């Protein structure tokens, strides 16, 4: 058990996770997140961009993919992670869009389902060099 924990810690220490913060204007935040993700991918780093903005998602528009499934549908158990991830036009960059807007975005993102989701993709994160998360808006404004 201790050896498994040590191995897992060593794998996780190789990850670089970048967060954008909710106090920035949404359009600027989206652009910064997508540009960072594209830069990492163009450096040859496997990159996963996760759009956690369940209220006003934009990453699917920026990359020209559908938003029929994504983070919200994965968290609600409607689709699997692999069914919801899209390859983008940038080699090495995958996108998990936000998915359909749930009735309770903040509650869903703060739920045990989100924790379980993060745990379930840890192996995918370890395989990639960097992971880009687009942070959701913290305010309760719609």
What phi, psi does 86 have (nearest 5°)?
-115, 140
Q: Residue 27 and residue 97: Cα distance in Å, rounded? A: 15
Q: Point out which residues pair with 136 in neighbouring strands.
A: none
What phi, psi does 78 have (nearest 5°)?
-80, -35
Residues 64 and 86 sit within 8 Å (Cβ to Cβ):
no
Say what the pTM is: 0.74
Q: Going residue by residue through the chain (142 aa), what tens digit of pLDDT does each one get?
A: 444 444 544 554 455 555 555 555 566 778 888 998 999 889 888 788 889 889 889 899 999 999 999 999 999 999 888 889 999 999 989 999 999 999 999 999 999 988 888 877 766 566 554 555 544 333 333 3
Q: Is 99 left (phi over 0), alpha (psi -120 to 50) or beta?
A: left
């Amino acid at each position: 058990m201790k050896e498994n924990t040590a191995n897992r810690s060593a794998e996780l220490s190789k990850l670089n996770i970048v967060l954008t913060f909710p106090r920035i204007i949404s359009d600027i935040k989206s652009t910064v997140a997508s540009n960072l993700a594209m830069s990492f991918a163009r450096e040859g780093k496997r990159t996963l961009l996760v759009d956690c903005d369940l209220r006003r998602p934009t990453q699917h528009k920026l990359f020209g993919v559908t938003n029929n499934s994504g983070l919200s549908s994965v968290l609600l158990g409607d689709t699997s992670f692999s069914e919801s991830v899209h390859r983008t036009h940038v080699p090495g960059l995958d996108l998990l869009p936000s998915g359909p807007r749930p009735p309770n975005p903040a509650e869903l993102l703060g739920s045990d389902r989100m924790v379980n989701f993060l745990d379930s993709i840890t192996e995918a994160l370890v395989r990639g060099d960097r992971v880009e998360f687009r942070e959701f808006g913290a305010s309760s404004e719609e």
